[in-house]
Amino acid sequence: MVNRQKLTEVIVRDAEPAEGRDYQIFDTEVRGFAVCIYRGGGRAFTLDYRYAGRQRRMTFGRWPEWSVSAARTRAKELRRDIDAGGDPLANRDALREAPRIADLIARYVDVHLTHLAKLNASDQRSMMEKFITPAWGRMLVTEVSAYDVELLLNKVAEGRARPSKQKPNNRARKLQGAKLTPVRANRVGEVVRKMFAYAVKWGWRDDNPATGFRRRMETPRERYLSQEEIACLATALDAAEDDRAAGIIRLCMLTGARVGEVRQARFEDFNLEHLSWTKPATTTKQRRVHRVPISDEAAAIVRQRRLAVVSGSPWLFPGDTPGQPVQEIRRFWARIQNEVAIPDVHIHDLRHTFASLLVSGGASLEMIGKLLGHSQMQTTQRYAHLMDSPLRAGVDAVANAFKPKPRLVHDADRPAAAASPPSRAGQRAGAKHLTVSGS
């Protein structure tokens, strides 16, 4: 028989556990509301109800953390939800199983990063591990708001303190202050926006909180080598002992290719008869096959590498690990920087220098974009300001046309009565008294 009483603190406190079983004391005021007395002595409030023909029991609070009065109030709220057609137990289970940011990151890695270039995928994975997971890892996907996105990007833009690369001595390193990283914040924002776009697509939430996030100002890096620096760089590469690394730098300069594309170049990618280089989609940033013409000098490097590389190796620049291309040349480049006195020049600046030389040679932006493999025209627009020479010649022509013509006038100190023109000797003697006047 069902045990029914009006539940009070005294009844709940004095109820004795039964041997070998749990039992309930139902409340007479709220239908289905009860306290469950566990065989171990614990007590919890429950609500029994029927939904879609099934008997359900929901435990929602333990005594004494929940008082009888508070539990009865909560039971009434749940009962109203049930009478309206709801299933509170199913709602709680759905909330417990709702995807969290950690789940979104895991699926994003499986679905999206597998289609990106290796370096790009690694960079995005680093952003998620360093910034997104520590901030939101345990949050539900539906809990993240636009305000949370802004707070995260503000924190990323502020940067972080990092060890100084300058060593005052060999035993200690000074700590620099935080270096502002607005560009990094923009890249993190793009990753967050893409992640939540997938969340909307998968039905995990209805909106994207990162849509229209505030982008920080970015100042594109502009460092071009001068003709003198290019000559010094060529001399240093000719004298370098590491022919392999020197060849990579030369090919970067001669083709404008990214250093990763040059490192992973294969002999089969080059057609020396037609002087062309076909970069496979796996090595290009835009993930598309990119075919570009090459110069005789670049073709000569390929021929030299064919003689230097062990027979059977597919790589133009094989690495120290068998079957792999060169992995990095940072130490070699650091030595070259010191020799040529260009400490502020990155290897990628050779690509910019290649573009600047194309501009000075009269190449159009469309041609530059095709040679560099840009997928968007706005990327090539960064070189538009280098095409100012024809424009400057035009405005100089206008200025010359508008410039006043010089004319001769009489010296103000000479009497105006001297109306008769002076002789040639007089003109030469009085030349120093003439002034030039504009209109």
Instruction: Assess whether pLDDT exceeds 70 at residue 119.
Output: yes
Q: Evaluate whether residue 58 is within a structural domain.
A: yes
Q: Which is nearest to 382 in space by CA: 395, 398, 369, 371?
A: 369
- Residue 331: exposure state from Cβ atoms within 10 A (0-12, 13-18, ≥19): exposed
Q: What is the CATH number of the domain that holds 145?
A: 1.10.150
- Encoded amino acid at 168, one letter: P
Q: What is the pLDDT of residue 298?
A: 92
Where in the sequence is the domain holding 40, given as residue range(s)? Answer: 4-97
- Indicate whether 285 and 348 sit together in one domain: yes
Q: Evaluate whether residue 347 is within a structural domain.
A: yes
- Indicate whether 107 and 93 sit together in one domain: no
Domain stop point among 97, 124, 144: 97
- Encoded amino acid at 361, one letter: G
- Indicate whether 73 and 183 sit together in one domain: no
Q: Evaluate whether residue 431 is within a structural domain.
A: no
| Domain count along the chain | 3
Instruction: Assess whether pLDDT exceeds 80 at residue 76.
Output: yes
- Indicate whether 274 and 366 sit together in one domain: yes
Q: Evaluate whether residue 222 is within a structural domain.
A: no
Q: What is the pTM of this model?
A: 0.57
What rounded mean pLDDT belongs to the chain?
83
Q: Which is nearest to 362 in space by CA: 386, 327, 335, 382?
A: 386
- Indicate whether 88 and 114 sit together in one domain: no
Q: Evaluate whether residue 325 is within a structural domain.
A: yes
Using an 8 Å Cβ cutoff, are 366 and 378 in contact? no
- Indicate whether 250 and 383 sit together in one domain: yes
Write the DSSP string, 382-433: GGGGGGHHHHHHHHHHHHHHHSPPPEEE--TTS-TT--SPPPHHHHHHTGGG
Q: Which is nearest to 304 in space by CA: 235, 242, 247, 233?
A: 247
Task: In the chain, count H helices and then E strands.
Answer: 18, 10
- Indicate whether 17 and 58 sit together in one domain: yes
pLDDT band at 138 (very low <50, low <70, confident <90, very high): confident
Q: What is the CATH number of the domain that holds 40?
A: 3.30.160.390
Q: What is the CATH number of the domain that holds 288?
A: 1.10.443.10
Instruction: Assess whether pLDDT exceeds 60 at residue 67.
Output: yes
pLDDT, tens digit, 9 for 90 and up, residues 142-173: 999 999 999 999 999 988 755 544 554 444 44
Q: What percent of the chain has pLDDT over 70?
A: 79
- Indicate whether 376 and 267 sit together in one domain: yes
Instruction: Assess whether pLDDT exceeds 90 at residue 3.
Output: no
- Indicate whether 86 and 160 sit together in one domain: no
Domain stop point among 97, 114, 143: 97
Q: What percent of the chain has pLDDT over 90?
A: 50
- Indicate whether 118 and 135 sit together in one domain: yes
